């Protein structure tokens, strides 16, 4: 389900919050910033709190960034001073570090080798330890984000080149990171050896290359010859060429985030050789096999669940139809609703189509239930539209554990599946029945036996999680690795 809550900006959203989106551009002209802008537009769904672009002309690095959506941060004229053939960009949702001006990326620092700009998607589980080491070495940290830790460690790393310095410091970073780096005369990108987050490389038709969090952003810019940046790999862009180096060995057991397929990525993305749209349809098909029910119509909670609902309908033989109309423009707003509108909650973002629901037994397909705060209101909307029964089907297992790798799932005491069993959750949301896809069926839908991180479902983390982090999430007895 896309973020919904009592108000558009509420922190109680009953959905995992997006991570971040990054982009790196090397062009044959001075228009890298403009390409970055359109690339970030295609990555807007990955973070709606802040955006920024840094550009280099061969000598100087310039940056423009701020809080808000991409189109709000980059108004008319703001791109004009950002002249250069190299650029990186970032669209942010805060996972580590609060949402404030000082945490907006890219970070730009001056070093003895020249200016350095860094933007990051992910989360380091050893960031506190690394931060303390930097403070003891006399570094002055200005933000609460672990992305600044990455930037300062890179600035102080040993090596004859930026590529060598990045390769030397990467083994010290534990957890999820997709990093884009800008110097005065080149751009670089790196991906953690577990492969938590997606990162892909594409070639521009006019020469040069782009690296972005999702393949859809590359295709938006007309890129061809698209390939995945491999786990543990560094890619250096410059002179119209892309040089690839395996900086650290990829981990024997990969840990791609399953939620990229379930919810985060746009349906036009391809990751791990899989079409995200097809993966979601497969999830719905497996859900129909695992949790069949006698019903008259299958509906989706738009938008990420639509392919899954189509898949459920295909296997079950139950007709698919639209049940909700989504207001796609409410999103992040700077105008707070009145108390009366706030009490309506979900109705700010969804209306129903009563003619498609009245007197019918409805299967409502959604991608996840996190806190349990909006599934109930959605069920009520369907009942108020005249449905005789509402059967909820979820395309992933119950989320019972928080994420420490860059996704805001909430804390243990906020996760409804950590507190209640499936029958109790069903009663809580007021459904006639409730079915979650099992881990085994979910992986079958993806056509994979391993290589994915399912810690939010199982509590088994690919990277050992510090007790301090578990404490912050409200529990000490979760699996540590």
Walk me through the domains of the chain, giving residue ranges and CATH numbers: 20-253 (3.60.20.10), 270-472 (3.40.50.2020)
Residues 192, 231 contacting (CB under 8 angstroms): yes
**pLDDT tens digits, residue range 358-411?**
999 999 999 999 998 889 999 999 999 999 999 999 999 999 999 999 887 888
Spans of the chain below 50 pLDDT: 1-12, 95-97, 332-334, 476-481
C-alpha span between 36 and 270 (Å, rounded): 20
User: Which pLDDT does position 11 carry in this prediction?
Assistant: 38
User: Which pLDDT does position 385 carry in this prediction?
Assistant: 97
Bridge-based pairing state of the strands 319-320 and 324-326: unpaired
What is the four-CA torsion angle of 216, 217, 219, 225, rounded to 10 degrees? -100
E-assigned strands of 106-174?
107-111, 114-124
Q: Which residues does the annotation mark as catalytic?
A: 20
Nearest one of 332, 333, 313, 315 to 323, comparing CA atoms? 313
Residues 374, 14 contacting (CB under 8 angstroms): yes
Q: Sort 47 into a burial class: Cβ within 10 Å, 0-12 / 13-18 / 19+.
A: buried
User: Which pLDDT does position 337 carry in this prediction?
Assistant: 58
The first and second tokens of residue 295, run together, are 């019903």
C-alpha Rg value of the chain to the nearest Å: 22
**pLDDT tens digits, residue range 125-178?**
998 899 999 988 888 777 777 888 999 999 999 999 999 999 999 999 999 999
Residues 269, 276 contacting (CB under 8 angstroms): yes
The first and second tokens of residue 335, run together, are 């105008």
User: Which pLDDT does position 469 carry in this prediction?
Assistant: 58
User: Which pLDDT does position 237 carry in this prediction?
Assistant: 97
User: Which pLDDT does position 7 carry in this prediction?
Assistant: 29
The secondary structure of residue 261, as a DSSP letter, is I
Quick one: residue 232, left, alpha or beta (phi over 0 = left, psi -120 to 50 = alpha)? left
C-alpha span between 52 and 37 (Å, rounded): 9
Please report, for residues 59, 123, 300, the alpha-carbon distance to residue 165 in angstroms, rounded to integers and kept in the order given: 20, 20, 48
Bridge-based pairing state of the strands 274-275 and 297-300: unpaired
Nearest one of 216, 220, 209 to 275, comparing CA atoms? 216
Measured from the Cβ of residue 70, the count of other Cβ atoms closer than 10 Å reads 24
The secondary structure of residue 260, as a DSSP letter, is I
Name the percent of the chain in helix, strand, coil, to the closest 5: 30, 25, 45
* Residues linked to residue 66 through DSSP beta bridges, in sequence order: 51
Q: Which residues of 253-267 are buried (b: 16+ CB within 10 A; e: fewer)?
A: ebbbbbbbbbbbbbb
Identify the sign of the CA torsion 469, 473, 476, 478. Answer: negative
The H-assigned helical ranges of 332-415 are 339-344, 354-357, 375-384
Angle at CA 100, nearest 5°, toward 166 and 8? Answer: 115
What is the four-CA torsion angle of 324, 325, 331, 336, rounded to 10 degrees? -90
C-alpha span between 411 and 476 (Å, rounded): 12
DSSP 287-312: HHHHS----SEEEE-TTTTHHHHHHH
Place of tokens 């991180």: 453
Nearest one of 357, 1, 60 to 185, comparing CA atoms? 60
Residues 6+ apart with CB under 8 A from 63: 52, 53, 54, 55, 106, 108, 117
The first and second tokens of residue 276, run together, are 């995200």
Residues 118, 211 contacting (CB under 8 angstroms): no
């Amino acid at each position: 389900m896309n973020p919904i809550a009592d108000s558009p900006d509420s922190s109680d959203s009953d959905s995992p919050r997006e991570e971040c989106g990054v982009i790196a551009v090397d062009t044959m002209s001075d228009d890298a910033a403009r390409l970055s802008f359109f690339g970030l537009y295609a990555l807007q769904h990955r973070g709606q709190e802040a955006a920024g672009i840094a550009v280099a002309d061969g000598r100087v690095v310039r940056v423009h960034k701020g809080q808000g959506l991409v189109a709000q941060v980059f108004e008319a004229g703001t791109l004009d001073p950002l002249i250069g053939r190299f650029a990186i960009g970032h669209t942010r949702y805060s996972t580590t570090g609060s949402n404030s001006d000082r945490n907006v990326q890219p970070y730009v620092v001056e070093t003895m080798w020249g200016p350095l700009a860094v933007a990051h998607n992910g989360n380091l589980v050893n960031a506190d330890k690394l931060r303390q080491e930097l403070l003891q070495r006399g570094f002055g940290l200005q933000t609460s984000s672990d992305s600044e830790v990455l930037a300062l460690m890179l600035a102080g790393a040993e090596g004859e080149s930026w590529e060598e310095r990045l390769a030397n410091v990467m083994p010290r970073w534990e957890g999820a990171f997709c990093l884009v780096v800008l110097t005065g005369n080149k751009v670089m990108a790196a991906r953690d050896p577990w492969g938590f987050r997606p990162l892909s490389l594409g070639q521009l038709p006019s020469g040069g290359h782009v690296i972005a969090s999702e393949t859809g952003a590359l295709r938006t810019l007309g890129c061809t010859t698209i390939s995945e940046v491999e786990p543990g790999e560094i890619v250096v862009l410059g002179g119209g060429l892309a040089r690839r180096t395996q900086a650290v060995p990829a981990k024997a057991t990969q840990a791609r985030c399953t939620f990229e397929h379930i919810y985060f990525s746009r349906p036009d993305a391809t990751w791990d050789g899989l079409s995200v749209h097809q993966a979601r349809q497969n999830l719905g098909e497996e859900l129909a096999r695992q949790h069949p029910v006698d019903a008259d119509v299958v509906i989706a909670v738009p938008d990420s669940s639509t392919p899954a609902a189509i898949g459920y309908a295909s296997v079950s033989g139950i007709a698919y139809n639209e049940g909700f109309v989504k207001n796609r423009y409410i999103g992040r707003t700077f105008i707070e609703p009145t108390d009366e509108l706030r009490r309506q909650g979900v109705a700010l973002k969804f209306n129903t189509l009563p003619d498609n629901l009245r007197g019918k037994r409805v299967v409502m397909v959604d991608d996840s239930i996190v806190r349990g705060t909006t599934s109930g209101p959605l069920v009520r909307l369907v009942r108020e539209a005249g449905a005789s029964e509402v059967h909820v089907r979820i395309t992933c297992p119950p989320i019972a554990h928080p994420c420490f790798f860059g996704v805001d799932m909430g804390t243990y005491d906020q996760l409804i599946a950590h507190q209640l069993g499936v029958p109790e959750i069903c009663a809580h949301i007021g459904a006639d029945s409730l079915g979650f896809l099992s881990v085994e069926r979910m992986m079958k839908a993806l056509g994979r036996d391993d290589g994915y991180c399912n810690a939010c479902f199982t509590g088994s983390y690919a990277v050992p999680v510090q007790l301090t982090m578990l404490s912050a999430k409200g529990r000490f007895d979760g699996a540590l690795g």
